[in-house]
Structure 1
Amino acid sequence: MSRAVEESNRRLLRARDAMDRAYAQPLDVPALARIAHLSEGHFIRTFRATFGETPHHYLQRRRVERSMYLLRETRQPVTDICFAVGFTSLGTFSRTFRDIVGQSPSQYRRTAVSVPVPTCFTRTWMRPVNFGEVRPAKVD
């Protein structure tokens, strides 16, 4: 791997790590591009080519992952969870959650079961799919 590719990957990882750490904060593409020391357009194109989704979709997915945990493990109202994970609108949260998970936050809460299983299995199985991917059919 060339030095330029390694440096580019390091910059993108820096921005992705910032999203993982501060997913609940108001992050936007200009701020993330500054973290990566890239122009906005180049940052979006390179991020998508490297990670398979846009920075915006990655951040939304991370927020939904966290909200899934809170819906399963707490009794906090959906509205409180929406704002706690960084969404500024309940409508946007619900629509994004449904697009990624396939059901509304309230439906997910009703059907989700909190069972002690190994974390590695839970993370793999419960990880939401990317926007536009088809989730496999449920096996009953």
Structure 2
Amino acid sequence: MLVRVTIEDLVRLRRARDVMDRDYAQPLDVPALADVALMSPGHFSRSFRAAFGETPYSYLMTRRVERAKALLRRGDLSVTEVCFAVGCTSLGSFSSRFTELVGESPSAYRARGHGAGAAIPACVAKIFTRPLRNGPSSGGGQSSGGGASPGNGEPVRIGEAESAGAS
């Protein structure tokens, strides 16, 4: 099944993605984000994946892990406090996803020295410490699934989209 993402859809999807970037610590779900994008939940999930290369949930968890990494580098909060501060409600799920994306547990990440990067502005550090999917947590990379950003005004056609239920 091909999913067609028009420029108008992409604008609405970016609006929902901006909500996830800004309100990552709030309880967000697909129906609420679909409302922001003025789409049905199923269409929103399929279109989001087609446009950005990952599900809305996966994108949101990546943002939460990015913020968690920054809080853990500070070292003044426990892993549990960081988990809840970034909007996760289950320490086990948070730790599993963190380990999957970063390559080490939140406790190990927190215990490791981060002094060498202290002088780097957070906006720059975020680019080089962004969690990678299906790969090691080496610097310089971006999250896989860069998605489509049409520059010629044409609709984007993406291959197999996930089913609406898996988000």
Give yes or no for the alignment of 1:126 onto 2:137.
Answer: no
1:9-88 mapped onto 2 (5 Å cutoff): 9-88=10-89
More helix by share: 1
The two structures have a TM-score, normalised by structure 2, of: 0.74
The two structures have a TM-score, normalised by structure 1, of: 0.87
Q: Name segments (4+ residues, structure 1) moved above 3 Å.
A: 118-121
Q: How big is each residue's C-alpha offset from its partner over 1:70-114, in whole Å with a ceiling of 9 and x where there is no partner?
A: 000141111111001000011111111011111100001122413
Give yes or no for the alignment of 1:135 onto 2:110.
Answer: no
Identity of matched residues, % = 53
Q: With CA pairs under 8 Å and 6+ residues apart, which has the higher RCO, 1 or 2? A: 2
> Could you say what secondary structure the match of 1:135 adopts?
coil
Q: How many aligned positions are there? A: 133
> Could you say what secondary structure the match of 1:57 adopts?
helix
Q: How big is each residue's C-alpha offset from its partner over 1:31-79, in whole Å with a ceiling of 9 and x where there is no partner?
A: 0011101111111111011111000000011000000000001411111
Taking the aligned partners of 1:121 and 1:21, their CA distance within structure 2 comes to 18
Taking the aligned partners of 1:27 and 1:42, their CA distance within structure 2 comes to 17
When residues 137 and 81 of structure 1 are mapped into structure 2, their CA distance, relative to the original with a 3 A threshold, is closer
